[in-house]
Amino acid sequence: MTEEKVNAEEQEKAPEVNVNANVPTEDFDWDSYEAGDVVGAGASKEELAEMYDKTLSTISEKEVIEGEVIALTKREVVINIGFKSDGIVSRNEFRYNPELAVGDKVEVYVESQEDKKGQLVLSHKKARALRSWDRVNEALDNDEVIKGYIKCRTKGGMIVDVFGIEAFLPGSQIDVKPIRDYDMYVGKTMEFKVVKINPEFKNVVVSHKALIEAELEQQKKDIISKLEKGQVLEGTVKNITSYGVFIDLGGVDGLIHITDLSWGRVNHPEEIVQLDQKLNVVILDFDDEKKRIALGLKQLTSHPWDSLDAEMKVGDIVKGKVVVMADYGAFVEIAAGVEGLIHVSEMSWSQHLRSAQDFLKVGDEVEAMVLTLDRDERKMSLGIKQLKADPWEKIEEKYAVGSKHSATVRNFTNFGVFVEIEEGIDGLIHISDLSWTKKIKHPAEFTAIGDSIEVVVLEIDKENRRLSLGHKQLEENPWDVFEGIFTVDSVHEGTIIDIFDKGAVIALQYGVEGFATPRHLVKEDGSQAKVDEKLDFKVIEFNKAAKRIILSHSRIFEDENKSEEVAAKKAAAKATKKGVKKLNDNLEKTTLGDISELAALKNQLEANEGKSEGDKE
């Protein structure tokens, strides 16, 4: 402020003196006035100065006082605090209050009564900071409406300058309507209510939404009190979610659930409506207490089933688009809002279990036959396999017993392999019909799902749509040949491939396997045979029907020992007979004196011969 202006204000506030500038006073002492001793009649200069000082405020530095805005410029605010000079504050300190005007009362902090230039130094920002927490707590306690300046955006909301404190404004508390552009609020001054204070962390939460909720609540009550089911109202699309659309009915919101947007399938509400779009809706239901209003859009149009072709009947061929897929089938829309279900069992003549996703996908255009049609229940079932000939009608011609085919392995069970010869023609290969020679515990040992396998048709069950198939029958039965090779008592080299409690499995030539009990695995030295050991085995049993060969290693050396023992006994018996004959021949030539000695010898020889016969038996 200029010095002339300050002097002018000081003169305005000075006490009146009996001085008339135009009319000279006879009693006025001009000499004393010039000397500075007398200013007016009977009043000294010191007295007048004292009277002037009484009109000024007594202020101290470092304190907060209230002042009045007396002038505004683009950069500065001139504030009168009743001191001999006015203070100047930067206008940036008032950016939270763009409506500041001359005459407004504001708080300022006295930094210095006089700087180097003789200017009073004030700060509004520091005054706000010193009293900020008191003011914030007062606003919370009194439910006071305060002003704040939105400084910037932050995660989840905005930062607001309130009394010099940075308060948090959650995005959900800016307005009752969802905010699409937060940046439009930056730099604005708005009214708020303090809703939460955390003294420990110096956190303040404010809300603008709280100011308008009370008014809206009353509006909602008034609107809901006038609602009726079936009433048609105009509304504006306020928000779109994955489950529905919120409609502003003029102060109160209603929800159109996604299922009530259209008679047809809707993947997302954005396919039907847009933000800020105006449309007519019908009231389906409302709750006075919870202030919930259920709205409908599709109910304003007739149901598509009502306009379905009256001539449509079971057996007709229809075209449609797959709109929904499930494991058990596919829903096909043949007209807007009219759907039929193709069950997975009606997609193929095949009998083995499969998923609907193996045949169709969402968006596919298909032709199907109407299998059932219920207009009252608005249900329809469709089938696509009916558009193809049933492969089982002429099964005997195409897949006669004994015919050979290539099939694809589809599934396993403990007892066999399920295969598919063509779409709709499935069959079972029993585990016993996989191989002539191998002992297969599970089909997975022999083949894999998805593999191709050659089969021969063994039996046809047309009524139950079953084929009995075989794989080993593609070759001649090798057991007819084995019968002449693995004869009883024949000896063959084999390798022990597995040993268990009841015996061992021995791999023989030609890919055939035999079995030996533990007793027949004893070697000549008394030790037991082990896995992977190669030995000679004697066939002790051959069963063609059961495809069984019983082997023995120990029987080889046991039989050899018996043969040697029998040969020795036979030789001894032969020698004994020869001695007896010789003796008899000699008896005829002996004299009577020798008879007694020869008789004794004969008896001894006969005794030996009898013993040999007993051993032989």
pLDDT band at 570 (very low <50, low <70, confident <90, very high): low
Higher-confidence residue: 67 or 257? Answer: 257
> Mean of the pLDDT values across residues 244-256?
85
Is the pLDDT at 196 greater than 80, yes or no?
yes
Closest CA to 185 of 166, 157, 164: 157
Kindly give the residue spans of alpha helices, DSSP state H, lying in 114-170: 124-141
The CATH class of the 479-552 domain is: mainly beta
Closest CA to 124 of 68, 56, 84: 68
User: CA-CA distance, 8 to 299, in Å (whole number)?
Assistant: 79
User: CA-CA distance, 591 to 425, in Å (whole number)?
Assistant: 105
CATH pick for 3-126 out of 1.20.20.10, 2.40.430.10, 3.40.50.300, 2.40.50.140: 2.40.50.140
Is the pLDDT at 193 greater than 60, yes or no?
yes
Q: What's the confidence (pLDDT) of residue 50?
A: 60
DSSP, residue by residue, 498-514: EEETTEEEEE-GGG-EE
Is the pLDDT at 575 greater than 70, yes or no?
no
Question: What tokens appear for 527 in the block?
Answer: 């030790």
* Residues 193, 207 contacting (CB under 8 angstroms): yes
Sign of the C-alpha dihedral computed for residues 320, 323, 325 and 326 taken in this order: negative
User: CA-CA distance, 347 to 356, in Å (whole number)?
Assistant: 8
* Residues 322, 287 contacting (CB under 8 angstroms): no
Higher-confidence residue: 223 or 101? Answer: 101
Q: What's the confidence (pLDDT) of residue 15?
A: 44
pLDDT band at 112 (very low <50, low <70, confident <90, very high): confident
The third-level CATH classification (topology) of the domain covering 395-474 is OB fold (Dihydrolipoamide Acetyltransferase, E2P) (2.40.50)
Sign of the C-alpha dihedral computed for residues 287, 290, 296 and 300 taken in this order: positive
pLDDT band at 27 (very low <50, low <70, confident <90, very high): low
Question: Angle CA(403)–CA(405)–CA(411) in degrees, nearest 5?
Answer: 125
pLDDT band at 6 (very low <50, low <70, confident <90, very high): very low
Is the pLDDT at 3 greater than 50, yes or no?
no
> Mean of the pLDDT values across residues 306-310?
79
Q: What's the confidence (pLDDT) of residue 343?
A: 92
User: CA-CA distance, 482 to 568, in Å (whole number)?
Assistant: 36
Percent of the chain with pLDDT over 90: 3
Closest CA to 558 of 505, 506, 612, 522: 522
Question: Angle CA(347)–CA(350)–CA(352) in degrees, nearest 5?
Answer: 110
> Mean of the pLDDT values across residues 229-258?
86
Q: What's the confidence (pLDDT) of residue 382?
A: 92
Q: What's the confidence (pLDDT) of residue 572?
A: 63
Q: What's the confidence (pLDDT) of residue 604?
A: 66
Write down the CATH number for the domain with range 304-387.
2.40.50.140
Write down the CATH number for the domain with range 143-212.
2.40.50.140
| C-alpha Rg value of the chain to the nearest Å | 59
Write down the CATH number for the domain with range 227-300.
2.40.50.140
pLDDT digits (tens, 9 = 90+) for 509-529: 887 888 998 888 888 888 888
Question: What tokens appear for 249 in the block?
Answer: 């009915």
> Mean of the pLDDT values across residues 196-224?
79
pLDDT digits (tens, 9 = 90+) for 353-401: 678 888 888 888 999 999 998 888 888 999 988 888 787 888 888 888 8
Q: Which residue has the tokens 């009502």?
A: 306
The residue ranges of every structural domain in the chain are 3-126, 143-212, 227-300, 304-387, 395-474, 479-552, 559-616
- When mean pLDDT is compared across 285-289, 499-503, 564-568, the lowest value belongs to 564-568
pLDDT digits (tens, 9 = 90+) for 400-440: 888 888 888 888 888 898 888 887 788 888 988 888 777 78
Higher-confidence residue: 482 or 417? Answer: 417
Q: Decide whether 143-212 matches 227-300 in CATH topology.
A: yes
Percent of the chain with pLDDT over 70: 79
* Residues 169, 192 contacting (CB under 8 angstroms): yes
- With a CB cutoff of 8 Å and minimum separation 6, the contacts of 557 are 524
Type of residue found at 436: W
DSSP at 178: P
Q: What's the confidence (pLDDT) of residue 369?
A: 92
> Mean of the pLDDT values across residues 528-547?
86
Is the pLDDT at 607 greater than 70, yes or no?
no
* Residues 383, 349 contacting (CB under 8 angstroms): no
Residue 273 burial (CB count, 10 A): 16
Q: What's the confidence (pLDDT) of residue 617?
A: 45
What integer best gives the mean pLDDT of the chain? 78
pLDDT band at 301 (very low <50, low <70, confident <90, very high): confident
Largest CA distance in the chain: 224
Q: Which residue has the tokens 């940046």?
A: 183
* Residues 73, 67 contacting (CB under 8 angstroms): no
Q: What's the confidence (pLDDT) of residue 208?
A: 86
